[in-house]
């Protein structure tokens, strides 16, 4: 299951409220002289986001690297624990709806080679469900902290670093990259079928691959793609989308093959913020990526997984971890689970006789839902009965 998380700048339909982070002190950011050697290790959350460690006013914190966030967001939980003074009263557009935000001043934020003195952070509730983890993170590191620098993402090595803009640490395919004037997030453009789609938000905080609007999908006119449904989780709630795998798409000089594409319903988040969609971590992780908006370019060097058909569900069940059990979050259209009458909200306590382990997210047992077609899986519900589910390809 991939989860999407994205926070845009405050509402576009009205003037920025007094609490808007744009109206607050920005602070001063700088890189250490040895920036090239200052790699930041990260792990991928179950929601497919880059999670790493930062320091906020001398306190250790966990963060997600999120180029789809206009202003970095601190969790209310962390702010309360650190006894930070939070000014409230604003709101922001997020996947799933509108969320309340506040603002707090900070003395210093640092990670890797980056140190920002002064300034502050937006403050919002950051739910654990948005990353698929048992514990929520403390901070979304957004555009405001990193836009002046080149961001070198080594997904294969599970590490990233910030470099002075203009550096070219590796060679690859070039695509355009800028900061949008209205939403203040990283944006590019891509070609899908007959459609040229822009602006596409380049969003490391979105765990899915590529997401487009309903209008963009219609304009692409791609025939023969089997689709189903899936869900995404944002700060504002849950969104149901259509999903399919397209044979090719173009991103600048790059032609990518076998790409998973989500299609938002009409009037969805991307339309609301007047974008054509998002390019997420599910796509970017197949490459080594350099994001350098100050130099107006993105570099993508294909990795070992580029162009491979993506992992797809053969069960039709999207589940979330709930301590010692799995909770069914969505039943995918046309899949074996829908055919067998499964419903969202049901809970699973054992798979082929094995209880759900604490490390389920990284345990080999978790591969059952995308297993070999024809395999029969025994799933014991937490209220007693056991069901059998035969896996199959359905999109």
Q: What would the pLDDT profile of 279-321 be if each residue is shown by its tens digit?
A: 999 999 999 999 999 999 999 999 999 999 999 999 999 998 8
Could you tell me what percent of the chain has a pLDDT over 90? 79
The residue count of the chain comes to 395
C-alpha–C-alpha distance, residues 383 and 386, integer Å: 9
Cis amide prior to 77 (ω within 30 degrees): no
Cα separations (Å) of 59 from 30, 78, 79, 110, 194? 20, 10, 11, 10, 50
pLDDT in tens, 206-218: 999 999 999 999 9
Query: How many other C-beta atoms are found inside a 10 Å radius of the C-beta of residue 226?
Result: 11
Helix (H, G, I), strand (E, B) or coil at 373: coil
* 19 pLDDT higher than 60: no
C-alpha–C-alpha distance, residues 300 and 280, integer Å: 13
Lowest pLDDT segment from 7-11, 69-73, 267-271: 7-11
pLDDT in tens, 157-208: 999 999 999 999 999 999 999 999 989 999 999 999 999 999 999 999 999 9
- Among 384, 287, 295, 381, smallest CA distance to 342 is for 381
Q: Tell me the pLDDT of the chain averaged across its residues.
A: 91
Helix (H, G, I), strand (E, B) or coil at 219: helix
What is the mean pLDDT of the segment spanning 388-392? 98
pLDDT band at 127 (very low <50, low <70, confident <90, very high): confident
- pTM here is 0.88
Lowest pLDDT segment from 5-14, 189-198, 316-325, 377-386: 5-14
pLDDT in tens, 145-159: 999 999 999 999 999
pLDDT of residue 88: 79
What is the mean pLDDT of the segment spanning 16-39? 82
CATH superfamily of 21-164: Acid Proteases (2.40.70.10)
* 12 pLDDT higher than 80: no
C-alpha–C-alpha distance, residues 69 and 96, integer Å: 15
C-alpha–C-alpha distance, residues 291 and 382, integer Å: 46
Could you tell me what percent of the chain has a pLDDT over 70? 91
Do residues 395 and 227 make contact, with C-beta atoms less than 8 angstroms apart?
yes
Q: What are phi and psi of 280, to 5 degrees?
A: -105, 180
What is the mean pLDDT of the segment spanning 242-253? 98
What is the mean pLDDT of the segment spanning 121-144? 86
Query: How many other C-beta atoms are found inside a 10 Å radius of the C-beta of residue 160?
Result: 23
pLDDT band at 11 (very low <50, low <70, confident <90, very high): very low
Residue boundaries of the structural domains of the chain: 21-164, 177-282, 317-390
What is the mean pLDDT of the segment spanning 255-266? 96
The backbone region for 75, taken as left when phi is positive above 0, alpha when psi lies in -120 to 50, beta otherwise, is beta
* 53 pLDDT higher than 70: yes
What is the mean pLDDT of the segment spanning 62-81? 95
Do residues 280 and 209 make contact, with C-beta atoms less than 8 angstroms apart?
yes
C-alpha–C-alpha distance, residues 190 and 275, integer Å: 12
Domains 177-282 and 317-390 belong to one CATH topology? no
pLDDT of residue 3: 31
pLDDT in tens, 92-126: 766 666 778 899 999 999 999 999 999 999 999 99
pLDDT band at 132 (very low <50, low <70, confident <90, very high): low
Do residues 374 and 391 make contact, with C-beta atoms less than 8 angstroms apart?
yes
Classify domain 317-390 by CATH number. 2.30.42.10
Do residues 121 and 138 make contact, with C-beta atoms less than 8 angstroms apart?
no
pLDDT band at 89 (very low <50, low <70, confident <90, very high): low
- Among 259, 24, 300, smallest CA distance to 152 is for 300
* 240 pLDDT higher than 50: yes
pLDDT of residue 16: 33
* 322 pLDDT higher than 90: no
Q: Encoding tokens for residue 143? A: 């555009």
pLDDT of residue 329: 93
Helix (H, G, I), strand (E, B) or coil at 325: strand
* 15 pLDDT higher than 70: no
What is the mean pLDDT of the segment spanning 323-333? 94
Cis amide prior to 215 (ω within 30 degrees): no
pLDDT band at 343 (very low <50, low <70, confident <90, very high): very high
Domain 177-282 has CATH 3.40.50.300: no
């Amino acid at each position: 299951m991939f989860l999407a998380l994205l926070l845009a700048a405050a509402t576009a339909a009205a003037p920025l409220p007094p609490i808007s982070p744009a109206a607050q002190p920005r602070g001063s950011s700088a890189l250490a002289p040895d920036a090239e050697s200052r790699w930041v290790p990260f792990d991928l959350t179950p929601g497919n986001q880059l999670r790493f460690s930062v320091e906020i006013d001398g306190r250790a914190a966990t963060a997600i690297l999120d180029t789809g966030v206009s202003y970095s967001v601190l969790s209310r939980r962390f702010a309360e624990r650190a006894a930070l003074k939070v000014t409230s009263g604003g709101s922001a557009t997020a996947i799933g709806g509108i969320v309340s935000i506040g603002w707090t001043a900070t003395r210093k934020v640092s990670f890797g080679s980056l140190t920002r003195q002064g300034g502050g952070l937006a403050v919002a509730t950051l739910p654990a469900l948005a990353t698929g983890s048992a514990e929520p993170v403390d901070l979304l590191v957004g555009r405001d902290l990193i836009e002046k620098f080149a961001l070198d993402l080594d997904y294969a090595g599970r590490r990233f670093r910030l470099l002075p803009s203009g550096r070219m640490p590796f060679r690859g395919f070039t695509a355009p990259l800028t900061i949008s004037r209205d939403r203040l997030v990283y944006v590019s453009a891509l070609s899908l079928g007959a459609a040229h789609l822009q602006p596409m938000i380049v969003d490391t905080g979105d765990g899915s691959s590529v997401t487009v609007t309903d209008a963009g999908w219609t304009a692409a006119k791609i025939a023969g793609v089997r689709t189903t449904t899936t869900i995404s989780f944002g700060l504002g709630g849950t969104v149901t989308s259509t999903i399919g795998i397209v044979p090719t798409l173009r991103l600048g000089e790059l032609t990518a093959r076998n790409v998973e594409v989500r299609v938002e319903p009409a009037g969805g988040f991307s339309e609301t913020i007047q974008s054509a969609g998002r390019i997420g971590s599910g796509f970017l992780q197949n490459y080594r990526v350099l994001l350098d908006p100050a130099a107006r370019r993105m570099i993508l060097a294909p990795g070992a997984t580029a162009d491979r058909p993506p992992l797809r569900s053969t069960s039709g069940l999207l589940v979330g971890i709930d301590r010692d059990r799995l909770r069914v979050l969505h039943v995918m259209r046309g899949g074996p689970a829908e055919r067998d009458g499964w419903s969202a909200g049901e809970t699973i306590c054992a798979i082929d006789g094995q209880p759900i382990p604490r490390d389920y997210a990284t345990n080999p047992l978790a591969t059952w839902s995308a297993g070999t077609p024809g395999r029969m899986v025994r799933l014991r519900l937490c209220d007693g009965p056991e069901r059998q589910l035969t896996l199959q390809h359905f999109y």
